[in-house]
Amino acid sequence: MLSAVFAAFLGGLILNAMPCVFPIISLKALGLVRHVHHRRQARVEGLAFLAGVVLTMLALGGMLLAIRAAGVAAGWGFQLQSPLVVALLALVMLAAALNLFGVFEVGLAAQRLGGAAPDRAGPLGAALTGALAIVVATPCSAPFMAGALGYALVQPAAQAMVVFGALALGFAAPFTLLAWAPGLARVLPRPGPWMATFKQVLAFPMLGAAAWLAWVLALQAGDGALGSLLGAAVAVGFAAWLHGRAQRRQLLGMRHWSLSAMAGLVVLALALPLGSLPRTTATPATTEVARGTWSPQAVAAERGKGHPIFVNFTAAWCVTCQVNERVALSQDAVKQAMARTGTHYLIADSTQFNADVDDAINQFGQGGLPLYVLYPADGGEPQVLPQVLTVTTVVAALERAAASH
């Protein structure tokens, strides 16, 4: 139990360095710079960020455990198997980008447009930043995370929630501790006009995240779903513009309720394009490597043929999976090693929910993606490869698996 808690905490720390959370973490860093000379405010926001991270992680963990208790196999990032969730998250990223561009402000932060009450929205904003950071972190998996989550998912609920809590604490620890650091003012740059420019620069990673999620949705549910998302994106942009105009009219003491009501109606109208999301799944993109579709039967049929079997458990929404594909699995050295060793390459796609795939992930004691399993040529016990792959790691594993025959 203690080793799983420690692994979860360490995995949470490393998760801060993953590409999924860079835009959100950058926002939190900007918040710390804003309050660098206001120690009390910085500490309050640090605790609010911690609370947002922990509560959201526990909520996701509770949902995951409840789903599994109902007999449905699920793992880390399970919510991204739903096209609707992917579409909603893409729209959240778009709205965040529009907020950073200054199209509208969130809640009481709108008062900053007129220079009043500059800090009143700080704790709420920090808590929401923490919550959003956890949501957008789910496509990524860090070292030590999979084993810890795999352990948690087969434990009683109370013990599992302790592991999820440790993961959240590890994730929130760097910025919470930094907010309380007495030497913060000496480390961070001074606030100034550059912050307004930097805030707008941060909008572009948000737009990049929205574009990536749109790509995931197209792989999950086809071009029709992508068209629905684009229509919803136009509606979000229009609603944000209306809301921003309403906020500015309010600051000038002018009537604004009609614009606010129109913005609300536009947001409600999003149910129309999102409700029409098709349920069909597009064929995932392939590389030059010949590959087959994984199934328990496919593995059983190949195991007696005297060659290695490499199973890639992946998903379009799994950022770590896509990075491994680019830096290792699609490289010529790996392709040549697979051809040289006669390795049979199978893809277990979890872009949309697949009970067989999720069951297999659980059987290997992993809490989520990515997962790489290599069956040796002699029919021995399969080997689970590291979650972060290199060309050298994969080639060496393939050669060992082939030499065992």
- 257 occurs within a structural domain: no
pLDDT given at position 136: 79
3-state secondary structure 196-217: HHHHHHCHHHHHHHHHHHHHHH
Pick the last residue of a domain from 174, 202, 230: 202
- 273 occurs within a structural domain: no
- 267 occurs within a structural domain: no
Pick the last residue of a domain from 202, 230, 255: 202
Residues 22 and 154 both lie in one domain: yes
- 79 occurs within a structural domain: yes
Report how far residue 232's alpha carbon sits from residue 188's, in angstroms, rounded to the nearest whole number.
39
- 285 occurs within a structural domain: no
Residues 180 and 41 both lie in one domain: yes
Q: In this predicted structure, which of 12-21, 147-156, 166-175, 273-282 has the lowest mean pLDDT?
A: 273-282
pLDDT given at position 368: 82
- 10 occurs within a structural domain: yes
pLDDT given at position 402: 92
pLDDT given at position 71: 65
Residues 168 and 299 both lie in one domain: no
Residues 190 and 337 both lie in one domain: no
Residues 182 and 322 both lie in one domain: no
- 368 occurs within a structural domain: yes
Number of domains in the chain: 2
User: Token pair of 277, please?
Assistant: 């999301």
How large is the average pLDDT for residues 272-297?
A: 64
pLDDT band at 100 (very low <50, low <70, confident <90, very high): confident
Dihedrals phi, psi of 344, to nearest 5 degrees? -90, 120
Q: Name the average pLDDT for the chain.
A: 81
Residues 186 and 312 both lie in one domain: no
Measured CA to CA in angstroms, residue 97 lies from 93, 140, 170, 204, 379 at distances of 6, 21, 27, 7, 52
pLDDT given at position 63: 85
- 162 occurs within a structural domain: yes
Residues 198 and 51 both lie in one domain: yes
pLDDT given at position 188: 64
DSSP-derived letter for residue 289 is S
Q: CATH number of the domain at 309, please.
A: 3.40.30.10
* DSSP reduced 3-state for 255: coil
For residue range 198-254, what is the model confidence (pLDDT) as tens digits?
888 888 888 988 998 999 898 888 888 888 899 889 889 998 888 888 888 877 777
- Higher model confidence: residue 4 or residue 181? 4
pLDDT given at position 280: 42
Residue-range definition of the domain harbouring residue 304: 292-403
pTM: 0.65
User: Token pair of 76, please?
Assistant: 């880390």
Structure-derived torsion over alpha carbons of residues 40, 45, 46, 47, reported in degrees to the nearest 10: 90
Report how far residue 103's alpha carbon sits from residue 112's, in angstroms, rounded to the nearest whole number.
13
Pick the last residue of a domain from 152, 176, 202: 202
